[in-house]
């Protein structure tokens, strides 16, 4: 039986300061993310999915109501791993780079239009959830999506390119109820466009998510 493990953050806990505090990352990664990992490992024995990868577990449980609990834990493990890698302490945020820049301009008309739609998705997601930049598996067309709670593009046969976590525990220590300010900071200061480019091109970028 394989065991799902908690991945290390791709940077030090204080590396995203002053935008996201070490306190937030300590609780978000070491407590919330770890709890999803631990709960998933409790649910796996006897499920028939013990030797599957995290992505395979998500796909296998996404439309099975009897395994909703396992899907929620697995999807949250994957979503969080993806989210950590969507941020960088090294000149993050701002306009996209690489092939993704041209594709965003082609599919949205401009970076500003993409930014507007992405921010709107993040702000209009009622309650807990995620805002995503996703690509179609056939043709590669980009679009914006939002998912509630643990839902994830993997469950909808889409390629995840970029995400912003809008669960309150992602930002409440630093921004309280100011979700718009958090999303602006994510877009302007933190986005890891190198990672997003790699995901758009179908590369694993060194992590399963």
Domains in the chain, please, with CATH? 21-209 (3.55.40.20)
Per cent of the chain over pLDDT 90 is: 95
Average pLDDT, the chain: 96
pLDDT at 133 over 80: yes
Is 28 labelled a binding residue? Answer: yes
- Quick: pLDDT tens for 52-95: 999 999 999 999 999 999 999 999 999 999 999 999 999 999 99
Nearest by Cα to 60 from 129, 134, 52: 52
Is 156 labelled a binding residue? Answer: no
Give the whole-angstrom CA distance, residue 188 versus residue 190: 6
14 phi, psi to nearest 5 deg = -95, 5
Q: What angle separates helix 68-85 from helix 54-61, to the nearest 10 degrees?
A: 140
- Quick: pLDDT tens for 108-131: 999 999 999 999 999 999 999 999
Residues with Cβ within 8 Å of residue 69, at least 6 apart in sequence:
43
pLDDT at 193 over 70: yes
Is 165 labelled a binding residue? Answer: yes
Looking at residue 202, what is its pLDDT? 87
Count other Cβ atoms within 10 Å, centred on residue 194: 15
Q: What is the pTM of this model?
A: 0.96
Give the whole-angstrom CA distance, residue 8 versus residue 29: 9
């Amino acid at each position: 039986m394989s065991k799902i493990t908690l991945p290390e953050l791709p940077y030090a806990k204080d590396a995203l300061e002053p935008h996201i505090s070490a306190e937030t990352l300590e609780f978000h990664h070491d407590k919330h993310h770890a709890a999803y990992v631990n709960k998933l490992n409790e649910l796996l024995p006897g499920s028939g999915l013990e030797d599957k990868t995290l992505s395979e577990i998500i796909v296998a449980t996404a439309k099975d109501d009897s395994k909703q609990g396992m899907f929620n834990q697995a999807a949250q493990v994957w979503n969080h791993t993806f989210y950590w890698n969507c941020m960088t302490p090294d000149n993050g945020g701002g306009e996209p780079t690489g092939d993704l820049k041209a594709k965003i301009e082609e599919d949205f008309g401009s970076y500003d239009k993409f930014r507007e739609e992405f921010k709107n998705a993040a702000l209009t997601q009622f309650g807990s959830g995620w805002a995503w930049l996703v690509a179609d598996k056939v043709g590669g067309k980009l679009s914006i999506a939002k998912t509630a709670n643990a839902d994830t593009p993997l469950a909808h046969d889409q390629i995840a390119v970029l995400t912003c976590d809008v669960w309150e525990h992602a930002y409440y220590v630093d921004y309280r109820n100011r979700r718009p300010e958090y999303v602006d900071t994510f877009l302007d200061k933190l986005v890891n466009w190198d990672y997003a480019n790699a995901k758009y091109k179908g590369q694993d970028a060194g992590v399963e998510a």
